[in-house]
Structure 1
Amino acid sequence: MKTQTFIGAISGLLVAGLGVARGDVANFVGGGLLISNTIAITGKKDPENVQPSPAPTVNPQPVTRVYIDGANTLGSINLLKFDIDFNAFADHIANGEDNVIFNYYYAVLESPNRKQNGFIKYLENNGYNVVQSLKKQLPEGNHKNKGDDVQIATDIAIDANENDHIVLVSGDGDFTYSLEKVKAKGCHVTVISTSECLSKQLKSVADKFIDLAEIKPDIQRYTKPRQSSPQPQLV
């Protein structure tokens, strides 16, 4: 009985004088007093254990994000009757900046042929991220792209951060809503297409429009003309 009274008195002093928060269980073992749980004492914190406040979140550095609608762009350059040098195109758009990401959306057949694989490799070697979608063959023999517009619109909305520069290479009006959303985030929007293929709604939401016809000399891929066989001379 005296032992229990002694332990109770000690526990009471600890609780009252030192502010014990928990773990006040005591056991008497072999004639000594054993505190079995850790005692947390309230009061002033040790300066060495005070954690510093987290640093304020800093907005990431603005990025130029280029989204190329491959099918739409192909239609535009066919109209202008030229091929794009995608290395020159990247240099033209980047204009000396390093923080530029190029995304090319390309619809391929279920079994890509050698020409398609070669084009994809060419783009990747020039720093493009190639996003593939399925080109579905219709019963009459034609092909229809499946899902590429949805991929582009979704990626634009997800990727964009405040003050980014969004460059859309397409004249398709289906992207109007997506561009409106990123502009509301504080992004600058540029649209590149041809005047003939450009949607009025898309042009109205863009901060800047670049006509492919105007930059054609800077981005055109030139091929060396084939050397014709020498004509036999008549004697």
Structure 2
Amino acid sequence: MIQLVREPDGVESSLPQAPENSSEQLPLLFPEEFDETDAPIHLHRGRLMLFIDGANLFYAASQMGVEIDYAKLLNYLQQQSTLIYAFFYTGVDPSNLRQHAFLTWMRRNGYRVVTKDVVLNPSGSKRVSSMNVEIAVDMMRFAQDCDTEILISGDGDLAYAVNAVSHVGTKVEVISLRSMTHDRLVAVADNFIDILSLRDAIQKSPRS
């Protein structure tokens, strides 16, 4: 297992950058009921690769009202598995020093960071470019090098890539907030886990 050090407090709060003036309407409601018995058990995933849509995870965490502890997240998901790579995809603002500090921490603690510069709209506002192409290409490129791929995203545009990976015999698990996950993505995944059930295991501890 990859050895991790604690993440500096607060550095991730600026990453990923939420798109400004976005027309996308994010759901504001949580499931009305959550039974702790629904929490997933640790699975024997064999050789594991992890693909995290940073912006999607950021929005999910915002909906749950928590900050993600990325050290806990990696440790939790690689239990009873052999982690090969953990990819983290995000748009970046070259002028955001706190964001770069966070990405440096991620690289030093087991993550392979894939970035794309934010785009300036004609109005001067910043917009995060989609990382779906990069995620889909990497999922396909490494499909035969692992037993299980975990995708942390609810974006329905990734359903085709998930289905294609499954056809080569690699198991694909999707982890996301159910209210933010497209039904098409849930349908093609070998296993779907509502990240709400993982909240206590992967959130940052309250600061004293």
Q: TM-score range by the shorter chain?
A: 0.7 to 0.9
Residue 207 of structure 1 aligns with an amino acid whose one-letter code is D
Distance 2:178 2:83 in 1: 28
Given that 2:88 and 2:113 are in contact with CA atoms closer than 8 Å, whether structure 1 keeps it comes out as yes
Given that 1:94 and 1:100 are in contact with CA atoms closer than 8 Å, whether structure 2 keeps it comes out as no
Could you tell me the TM-score, scaled by structure 2's length? 0.74
Distance 1:207 1:76 in 2: 21
* Structure 1 segments of 4+ aligned residues over 6 angstroms from their partners: none
Match of 1:152 among 135, 145, 150: 135
Q: Tell me the residue number matched to 2:195.
A: 212
Matches within 5 A, 1:29-108: 63-108=47-92
Q: Tell me the residue number matched to 1:171.
A: 154
Q: Tell me the residue number matched to 1:132.
A: 115
User: C-alpha deviations, 1:162-213, integer Å up to 9, x for none?
Assistant: 7620100000001001111110100101000001100000000111111111
Could you tell me the TM-score, scaled by structure 1's length? 0.66
Given that 1:162 and 1:186 are in contact with CA atoms closer than 8 Å, whether structure 2 keeps it comes out as no
Q: Tell me the residue number matched to 2:23.
A: none
When structure 1 is superposed on structure 2, of 72-81 and 142-151 the one drifting more is 142-151
Distance 2:83 2:207 in 1: 33
Given that 1:68 and 1:170 are in contact with CA atoms closer than 8 Å, whether structure 2 keeps it comes out as yes
- Structure with higher RCO (Cα < 8 A, 6+ apart): 2
Consecutive unaligned residues of structure 2, counting only runs of 5 or more, are: 1-45
User: C-alpha deviations, 1:80-134, integer Å up to 9, x for none?
Assistant: 110111110001100143333100001102x241111111012112200001112
Matches within 5 A, 1:9-48: none
Give the aligned length. Answer: 163
User: Between the two proteins, what is the percent identity of the paired residues?
Assistant: 29
Q: What SS does the corresponding residue of 2:101 show, helix, strand or coil?
A: helix
Q: What SS does the corresponding residue of 1:161 show, helix, strand or coil?
A: helix
Q: What RMSD, in angstroms, separates the aligned Cα atoms of the two structures?
A: 1.6
CA distance change for structure 1 residues 136 and 100 in 2, over 3 Å: closer, same or farther? same
> In terms of Rg, which structure is larger?
1
Consecutive unaligned residues of structure 1, counting only runs of 5 or more, are: 1-61, 226-235
CA distance change for structure 1 residues 222 and 153 in 2, over 3 Å: closer, same or farther? same
Distance 1:106 1:175 in 2: 15
Q: What SS does the corresponding residue of 1:63 show, helix, strand or coil?
A: strand
Matched, 1:199 2:182: yes
Q: Return the offset for 1:145.
A: 2.2
